[in-house]
Amino acid sequence: MERAVQRLKSGQGHNELMPQYIYALDKKIKRRVVHVIVGEWAISLVTRSKFKYKPKKHAH
Amino acid sequence: MASPHKPVLLTGTHTKVLDSAMKRGNWIVALLLAHTYSEAFLREWLLYSGNLPLETMARSIIRETERIRFEQLVLVHHLLGNIDGNLRERIYEVNKRRNEVAHRLIEYDLSDREIDTRFRGDAEKAAAVCSDVFAHFKQALDRQAEKV
């Protein structure tokens, strides 16, 4: 299965292909945990529950 | 501070925070921060480890993991194969030094650069351990993400 990967600026200061992670509330366990972004979905890596994710627009 | 309900990107910003403290010569602060970050990563990592069926993951189990003592937490990660014996020993060493400093913090004059500089080696070791813990944690997340 083709997995969606997005460009994310790494801690080393260069771009590379890697999954994008967010820290968000998992409603099933009522706790903030790591979610992976797959397409328009954010999927919890603990319970696999998911929600539609819209990236925050940063002001420059 | 981020809202508890808004998603935030997990990008390893701890390195910037630690670098900033060390560049300013705040070695005691860097040591305490590096240990705190390492512990936070290790506690979080436990949720993505092992072979527990996802449907059995419950808030009650997570609450119990939050009560595990630091030494036990490190031991569990070693038993699960998440960290090797060398990293485990380095974590213990940083933990021991951090506890010594934290419990005697009021004895130190943090405005005295000379006193702060004495902890430079400890802070650099703690930052290296923190970096290694995060790198292993990130690899574990990548493996979990592959299964999605």
Report if residue B3 sits inside a domain. Answer: no
Q: Which domain holds residue B103?
A: 18-49+57-147
Tokens, residue B74: 């490190």
Report if residue B97 sits inside a domain. Answer: yes
Cα angle A7-A11-A12, degrees, rounded to a multiple of 5: 100
Give the count of domains, chain B.
1
Region B104-126 average pLDDT? 89
Nearest to B133 by CA among B68, B92, B82: B82
pLDDT per residue as tens digits for the range B87-96:
999 999 999 9
Q: Which of B4, B8, B12 sits opposite A11 (nearest CB)?
A: B12
Report if residue B8 sits inside a domain. Answer: no
Residues of A in contact with B140 (CB under 8 A): none
- ipTM, interface predicted TM-score of the complex: 0.77
Report if residue B10 sits inside a domain. Answer: no
Report if residue B11 sits inside a domain. Answer: no
Helix axes B27-45, B14-23, angle to 10 degrees: 170
pLDDT per residue as tens digits for the range A13-33:
334 456 889 989 999 888 899
CA B23 to chain centre: 20
pLDDT per residue as tens digits for the range A34-55:
999 999 999 999 999 999 998 7
